[in-house]
């Protein structure tokens, strides 16, 4: 399935708060649709599916990409769920979002794909690029790039920057100091249910 381009608040109403997808909060506290206010009992499968969808929509990845990340997390040492979250959090688009250079992850993806971002002084226009420890992320020294980011910095998506990142607003230079810790993941998610969902898919 291609990237979601529909109404974002509809997804937020269905799945709960998704800081990476939208900064807006819905006026109605129940899911959209004819049966949104019903109190139907959800199956275990539905609960696992919902947790998986939260991850997908928050980080803006396709089902195929998600499956690749899960397989990669399974091969790595440590808790598969935690590794999966770390892989998603260390994407370039998410790293830019967490530094406050963009209000949402889709906006951060646009900054990357339009060539406004440099990694170690090289232009990178692939949003899924995996940031590594020691890498320096800067905004291109062009007026258009700088003005765009300056406007975004006035209203960052999340108030707190994770401990593994640092950013100098004056110089517009950020640095990755390590891999994100689980407690800094802003999304309310049970990653074990996501791993369960994929293990039952075969």
Q: What is the mean pLDDT of residues 91-105?
A: 91
Residue 137 confidence (pLDDT) above 90: yes
Superfamily (CATH) of domain 91-178: RNA-binding S4 domain (3.10.290.10)
Kindly report, residue by residue over 30-66, the tens digit of the pLDDT: 555 545 555 667 788 888 988 999 898 889 899 999 9
Domain boundaries, the chain: 8-87+187-201, 91-178
Kindly report, residue by residue over 154-199, the tens digit of the pLDDT: 877 676 889 999 999 888 899 999 999 988 888 888 999 999 999 8
Q: What is the mean pLDDT of residues 6-20?
A: 68
CATH topology of domain 8-87+187-201: Ribosomal Protein S4 Delta 41; Chain A, domain 1 (1.10.1050)
pLDDT of residue 37: 57
pLDDT of residue 1: 41
End-to-end CA distance of the chain: 19
Spatial neighbors of 137 by CB under 8 A, at least 6 apart, are: 92, 95, 96, 99, 117, 118, 119, 131, 173, 174, 175, 176
Assess whether the region 8-87+187-201 and the region 91-178 belong to the same CATH fold: no
Please give the model's pTM, rounded to 2 decimal places: 0.84
What's the per-residue H, E or C state across the chain? CCCCCCCHHHHHHHHCCCCCCCCCCCCCCCCCCCCCCCCCCCCHHHHHHHHHHHHHHHHCCCHHHHHHHHHHHHHCCCCHHHHHHHHHHCEHHHHHHHHCCCCCHHHHHHHHHCCCEEECCEECCCCCCECCCCCEEEECCCHHHHHHHHHHHHCCCCCCCCCCEEEECCCCEEEECCCCCHHHCCCCCCHHHHHHHHHHHC
Q: What is the mean pLDDT of residues 143-158?
A: 81
Share of the chain above pLDDT 90, in %: 47
């Amino acid at each position: 399935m291609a990237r979601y381009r529909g109404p974002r608040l509809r997804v937020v109403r269905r799945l709960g708060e998704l800081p990476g997808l939208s900064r807006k909060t819905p006026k109605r506290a129940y899911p959209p649709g004819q049966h949104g206010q019903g109190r139907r009992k959800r199956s275990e499968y539905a609960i696992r599916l919902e947790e998986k969808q939260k991850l997908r929509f928050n980080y803006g990845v396709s089902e195929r990409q998600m499956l690749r990340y899960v397989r990669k997390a399974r091969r790595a040492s440590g808790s598969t769920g935690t590794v999966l979250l770390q892989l998603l959090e260390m994407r370039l688009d998410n790293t830019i979002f967490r530094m406050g250079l963009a209000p949402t992850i889709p906006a951060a993806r646009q900054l990357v794909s339009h060539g406004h971002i440099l990694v170690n002084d090289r232009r990178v226009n692939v949003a899924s690029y995996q940031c590594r420890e020691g890498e320096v992320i800067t905004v291109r020294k062009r007026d258009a790039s700088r003005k765009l980011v300056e406007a975004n910095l006035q209203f960052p998506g999340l108030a707190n920057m994770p401990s593994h990142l640092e950013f100098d607003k004056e110089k517009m230079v950020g640095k990755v100091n390590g891999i994100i810790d689980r407690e800094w993941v802003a999304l309310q998610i049970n990653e074990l249910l996501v791993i369960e969902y994929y293990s039952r898919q075969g």
